Amino acid sequence: MVERICVAQIGAAHGIKGEVKLRSFTADPAAVADYGPLESEDGTLRFEIEALRPAKDHLVARLSGVRDRAAAARLVNIRLYVARERLPPPAPDEFYHADLIGLRAESRDGTELATIVGIHDFGAGDLLELRPLGASSTVLMPFTALTVPEVDIAGGRIVIDPPQDLLEQFK
């Protein structure tokens, strides 16, 4: 099981006092401030969110130790993680993306078709990024109860029923 979960990513500097644009990956975007210190992926940087406010399509955050625009600009694109035990357990039929990545995607009859390599949301709902067996490219598939009737994290697999036009990618 994944021990740390990515909950946010720092964007561009905002203003001159060291604030940053912050993209939250939590179900409630403002909840990112509730999980305590956030760490960079390599664990070398650690931040507390001192202040957080909504903006047009992101949050604006003041992070501990970041006091000017130059310091904020050096943090662009850093992903922020928390220890999994600080997060609430997912509700039924909800999943942490980190738990899905790497799972086998199987047909209803148990034939392995692909591996989950990513989960994306471009505004119209979650999409699974799947790499069909033996392929170097990936395909996107809606992550809905209709197309993914079963998720078995403990078993390391999901059952997929892809739309007909995507089936060709799995042959």
Which residue ranges make up each domain of the chain? 4-85, 97-170
pLDDT on residue 169: 63
- Topology of the domain covering 97-170: SH3 type barrels. (2.30.30)
pLDDT at 38: 96
All residues at 6 or more sequence positions from 163 whose CB lies less than 8 Å from its CB, including other chains? 141, 142, 147
Pairwise CA distance, residues 108 & 161, whole Å: 7
Residue 24 near residue 94 (C-beta atoms within 8 A): no
Beta bridge pairs of residue 80 = 8, 40
Task: Give Cα separations from 28 to 7, 18, 25, 117, 120 (angstroms).
Answer: 11, 24, 8, 24, 17
Q: In Å, what is the CA distance from 55 to each residue of 12, 47, 74, 118, 170?
A: 13, 20, 21, 27, 41
Residue 97 pLDDT level (bands cut at 50, 70, 90): confident
Q: Residue 167 in 3-state DSSP? A: helix
pLDDT number for residue 11: 96
Q: Which CATH architecture has domain 4-85?
A: Beta Barrel (2.40)
Tens digits of residue pLDDT in 115-164: 999 998 777 788 999 999 988 899 999 999 999 999 999 999 999 998 77
For position 94, what pLDDT does the model report? Answer: 85
pLDDT of 41-95, one tens digit each? 999 999 999 999 999 889 999 999 999 999 999 999 999 999 988 888 888 888 8
Give residues with Cβ within 8 angstroms of 44, minimum separation 6. Answer: none
Nearest by Cα to 52 from 44, 41, 60, 63: 60
Whether 30 shows a pLDDT value over 90: the answer reads yes
Q: Which residue has the tokens 């990112």?
A: 32
Q: Does the predicted TM-score (pTM) go above 0.85? A: no
Evaluate if residue 166 carries a pLDDT over 80. no
Residues 148 and 24: their CA atoms lie apart, in Å, by 25
